[in-house]
Structure 1
C-alpha cells in the first residue's frame, strides 16, 4: 500500500487498564488520523494471550491484531506496560511500522520496584479500596468522577493471571540488548508528577537505548495516566510526531 494511506496509531494500555483509556485522544485526532486501542490479554475483559503472559507473547498478540486490522502505516503508542510491549514489537522491525511513542513507559530493563511494593501490589488484586487508593496515587491532575470510576473498574476487571504475571515476570524482563534493533523515529512522553516512574527513570533506563535524537517530552502537572490526565497535550504531541515522520 502507498504511503498516502492514512496513518494509524496503535495504542497499548497500561497494566490494570484497558484500551478505552485512549478514547479522548482518538476523538481529538479524528478525522485526520485513525486510532485503535485493543484490550491486552487478561485486561479489560479480554482473554489471556494464547502464548502466555510474557512480553513477547503480548507482542505476538499485538502483531496479530495489526494484521487483522489490515494496517500498512502505523505508529505504536505504548503506555506504561504497553510501552515495554511496544518496544519488544518495534525491535522486530515489523512491516509498516513508522514510529514509536512511549507514554510513561515501563523501561526495557527490569522495572524499578522494591520487593515490598511488588508484594503489596500482588495483594491488592480485586480489592476496591486498594484500587481507589491506586487511582489517587497514580494521577496528579483532577479527573471527573466517571473517569476515576472507570480507572477503578478497569483495575478490578484485571484477571489474576495477568495481574501476577506482569508483577512477577513481565516487569522484570530485560529487553535492553534488543533495543539496537529499534530503528524508527521515537519519542518519550512523561508527566513531571508521575509517582510510579519519574522522568529520570526514562532518561536513565530507556532514552539512551533509543535512536539518537529521541526527545523526552515533559507534561507539567501530570501523573502516570497521561491519556486520561493530559489528552490534549498527548494528542498534540502525536499529531506533531505524525507530521514530522511524514
Structure 2
C-alpha cells in the first residue's frame, strides 16, 4: 500500500500579526511535519480581501488555501484571532481535516473585552509607540531581539481596514451555533500568564464547545504570543498531537 500523504499543520496567526510567527515552530517540526502559515487578508503581506473581513470570509480564505495546496491530511492550528477562524473552518467539516489545536484562542462567543480596551486598540493603529507598548503588555517571557522587532513590525503592517474590522466586528461575532459536535480531536494550549485571555476564559468560553475530554494544556509563565515565547513547548505539544491523529 502507498504511504499516506504527510501531515500538514495549517497555522493561523493572531490579530495584528502574520504567518511569520510560526517560523520557529516550523523549524522545530521539520522535516517530519509540514507547516503552512499564511498571512490572513489585511495582515502581513496579504492583500485586502475580495469579499470582507468577516470570520466566514477568512474561513473561505483558508478553505481555498487547503484546496490550492491539495492537502488531504492536515491539522488546523489557530492562535488568538486565528483560533476563532480555525473554529469556523472546522465547523464546515472539510475533507482531510484531522484535528484542531487552539493557542490562546479568541472564543467562538464574543471576545471578552471592555469598551475602554476596544477603543484604546482602535486608536493604536499605525503608531510605533503603541506597537511597542502592546509588545511589552502581551508578552511575559523574554524573546530574542529579532522576535521583538518582528512583532512590532507586523503590528505596524496591518491595514487599518483589517485592524478595525476585527475590533468592531470579528471579535464580537458569535459562531457557537455553527459548531455543533465537532467530530475531530481538539486541544487548547494556553499561556499561564496571558494578560489578554486567561486560561479560565478558554475553560468557560471555548472548551464547552469542543469534544468531551479535550485537554487544556497550560504553559506556565507564558503570555499571549506562545509561538514566540514558548516555541519548544508548543512544538512538542503539536508533535504529540500529530502523532495521535496521524
**TM-score, normalization by structure 2:** 0.98
Partner of residue 33, structure 1: 33
TM-fit CA distance, 1:145: 1.2
Q: Does 1:91 align with 2:91?
A: yes
Alpha-carbon distance in structure 2 between the residues aligned to 1:150 and 1:161: 21
* 2:227 paired with 1:227: yes
Contact 2:9/2:35 (8 A) holds in 1 = yes
1:120 maps onto 2:120 in alignment: yes
- Stretches of 4+ aligned residues off by more than 6 angstroms: none
Deviation at 1:244, TM superposition (A): 1.1
Q: Is the 8 A contact 2:181 2:211 kept in 1?
A: no
- Equivalent residues of 1:92, 1:181 under 8 A apart: no
Q: Unaligned regions of 5+ residues in structure 2, if any?
A: none
Cα distance between partner residues in 2 of 1:85 and 1:182: 15
Question: How many positions carry a matched residue from both structures?
Answer: 246
SS at match of 1:78: strand
What residue number does 1:53 align with?
Answer: 53
- 1:94-243 residue pairs with structure 2 within 5 A? 94-243=94-243
Conserved? CA contact 2:74–2:99, under 8 Å: yes
Is the contact between residue 3 and residue 73 of structure 1 (CA under 8 Å) also seen in structure 2? no
1:33/1:166 CA distance change after superposition, 3 Å: same
**CA deviation profile, 1:59-83 (whole Å, cap 9, x unmatched):** 0001101111111100000000000
| Distance change >3 Å, CA 165–CA 3, structure 1 → 2 | farther
* Whole-angstrom CA distance in 2 between matches of 1:201 and 1:50: 33
Task: Give per-residue Cα distances to partners, 1:19-43, cap 9 Å, x unaligned.
Answer: 0100000000001000010000000
SS at match of 2:190: strand
- 1:17 and 1:155 in contact (8 A); partners too: yes
Partner Cα distance (2:101, 2:3) in 1: 19
Q: Calculate the TM-score normalised by the size of structure 1.
A: 0.98
Partner of 1:68: 68
- Find out whether 1:11 has 2:11 as its counterpart: yes
CA contact (8 A) 2:135 2:148 kept: yes
| Partner-residue secondary structure (3-state), 1:166 | helix
| Alpha carbons 1:102, 1:189 under 8 Å: kept | yes
Q: Structure 1: 5+ residue runs without aligned partners?
A: none
Distance change >3 Å, CA 202–CA 3, structure 1 → 2: farther
